[in-house]
Amino acid sequence: MSFVSAFAAPLLAREQHRFIDEHPETIRRDKALREHWLNGVPMHWMSDWQLPAPLIVRAASGSSFVDVDGRTYADFCLGDTGAMFGHSPPAVANALKHQAAHGFTCMLPTDQTARAGELLAERFSLPCWQITQTATDANRAVLRWARALTDRKLILVFDGCYHGSLEDTLVRLDRGRVVTRPGQIGQVADFASYARVVEFNDLAALEAALADGQVACLLAEPVMTNAGMVLPEEGLWAEVRKLCTRHGTLLAIDETHTLSSGPRGHAHRLGLTPDFLIAGKAIAGGMPMAVYGFTAELANRMERLLETKPAGHSGMGTTLAANALATAALVACLQDVMTNEAYAHMLKHAATLADGLRERIAQRSLPWHVTTVGARSELVFTPTPARTARESLAAASPMLERLLHLYLLNRGVLVTPFHNMMLVSPVTPAGQVQALLDHFEEFLHELS
Ligand SMILES: Cc1ncc(COP(=O)(O)O)c(C=O)c1O
C-alpha cells in the first residue's frame, strides 16, 4: 500500500481544487448557509462528508441529482439508503400528491392504514406492526417492549453496530469491557451498565453473554453494514436463533439497510425468523417513516401489558409518526415500488458493478476486495473480508476512501462517504454502472 500513500495526498489536494473551481455557486451558498446554520448545514454532521463545501442539491429524480452548480450526479449513495428505490419513485410521488389534498396528519389511523398492515404482514411474515418516524425510534420502541415483556434490564448488541442515535446501543467493547461509545455530546446516562456487547461471528461469546438469562433482547443487523460490511459466517444465524430461544432472549432484526437484499429483506433469505423486525429509511420510498413488526404471541403479551400497566406515557411514539402522508407513501412503496422486478434489476446491476470492480482490482493485483450484500457493494482496501467489526474498522483507510469519494464525485458519480458503499436502485441504468467502473479504472491508473 505504500504506493498509495505516496500518491494519495497530492491527488487529494488536486481534486479539492478541482471541486472548488467547478462549484462556484456551491461555495457562494456555503458562505450564506454558514450565517444561520451550525456548521453551515441543517444537521451538523452533514459536514462530516469532508468536501471543501457540502454539495447543495437542486433537484433529484430516479438515480440522479443535480446540484446548484448545475452538475449532474449518478447517485450510488441514495441518501445512505433513504432513497434506495430511487428519488421520487412515481408511485410514491402520486400517492403523496393525492394524499396532500386530503390532509397531512390527524394523529389517527387513515383509510390506508389497514392496507399498510396487510402489506407488511404479507411481505415480512409477521402479523402485527407499529409505525415510528425513524428507524432509531423503531429500535428504541423494540428495546422498551423487549425489556418490559421479559422483565429483564439488559440488551445485547454486536460490537461496531449502528442502530441509529439510540443511546442504549451506542456502546462498544473495549478490551473486554462494555463502554459508552466515544464522541457523544452531552450524554450523562450510563447505558453501558444495561448492555452487553460481543463480537459478530463469535458464538461462544454470545452464548456466554446470554447464559445467565438476564438479556431481554439481541438487536442486530443480519449483516453488519455500519462498520464496513461484515458478513455472517455460514450457520451463524441458525445458532443465534437457537441460543436466543433457549435463554429467553427476544431476537430483533434491524433490516433498515439490508432491505436491499431482497423484497422480503435479508433475514428471510437466511431463513431466519426474528421476534421483532425493524425497517426504516426506504420503507416508505424516502418519506420519514419506520416500522417494526412482531409475532402474534408478542402482540398478545403487549396487549395485556397495555391493559395492566399504570396510567401515563409509555415513553414511545411521536406526534407525527404514522401521519397520513407517510402512510400513503408506505402503501405505495410496498405495493408498487418494492416489486420483484425492481429487486431483480437492483441485484443484477449490483452484481455487474461488483464484478467490474473485482476485475479491475485483479488486473492490477491490488490487495483489495469487494463485499456485496444484495444491492450494496463496498470496496475495501484489504485483501480479505473481515470477520468482526473490529477487524473491519482496523482495515479502514480514511485517506484513500476520502480520495476515491471525491475523485468520483468530481466526475459525476456519488458513492456513500466514509466507507465507499455503492447502492444500486431499481432505476439505475447500466450506463451509470459503466460510468462508475470507467472512473474507477481511471482512478486506479492515476494512483499507480
Ligand atoms: C441498521 C440501521 N438501523 C437504524 C438506523 C437509524 O436510521 P435513522 O437515522 O433513519 O433513524 C440506521 C442508520 O444508518 C442503520 O444503519
Residues 157 and 171: their CA atoms lie apart, in Å, by 8
Question: Has residue 377 got a pLDDT over 60?
Answer: yes
> How far is the centre of ligand 1, averaged over its atoms, from the C-alpha of 55 (Å)?
22
Residues 355 and 242: their CA atoms lie apart, in Å, by 35
**Residue partners of 134: CB distance under 8 A and separation at least 6:** 164, 280, 288, 290
Residues 323 and 301: their CA atoms lie apart, in Å, by 26
> How far is the centre of ligand 1, averaged over its atoms, from the C-alpha of 443 (Å)?
31
Mean pLDDT across the stretch 198-205? 98
Q: Tell the residue nearest (CA) to atom 6 of ligand 1.
A: 164
Q: Please report the atom of ligand 1 found closest to the CA of residue 80.
A: 14
Residues 45 and 233: their CA atoms lie apart, in Å, by 33
> How far is the centre of ligand 1, averaged over its atoms, from the C-alpha of 163 (Å)?
5
The pLDDT of residue 8: 84
Pocket mutation for ligand 1, best pick of 139, 143, 163 (most atoms within 8 Å of C-beta): 163
Tens digits of per-residue pLDDT, 412-421? 999 998 888 9
Tens digits of per-residue pLDDT, 215-239? 999 999 999 999 999 999 999 999 9
Pocket mutation for ligand 1, best pick of 136, 157, 416 (most atoms within 8 Å of C-beta): 136
Q: Tell the residue nearest (CA) to atom 3 of ligand 1.
A: 163
Position 1 confidence tier, pLDDT thresholds 50, 70, 90: very low
What distances in angstroms separate CA 399 from CA 44, 126, 404, 413, one per listed residue? 22, 43, 9, 18
> How far is the centre of ligand 1, averaged over its atoms, from the C-alpha of 256 (Å)?
6
Tell me which residues have their CB closer than 6 angstroms to ligand 1. Answer: 134-136, 162-164, 221, 226, 254, 256-257, 280-281
pTM reported for the whole predicted model: 0.97
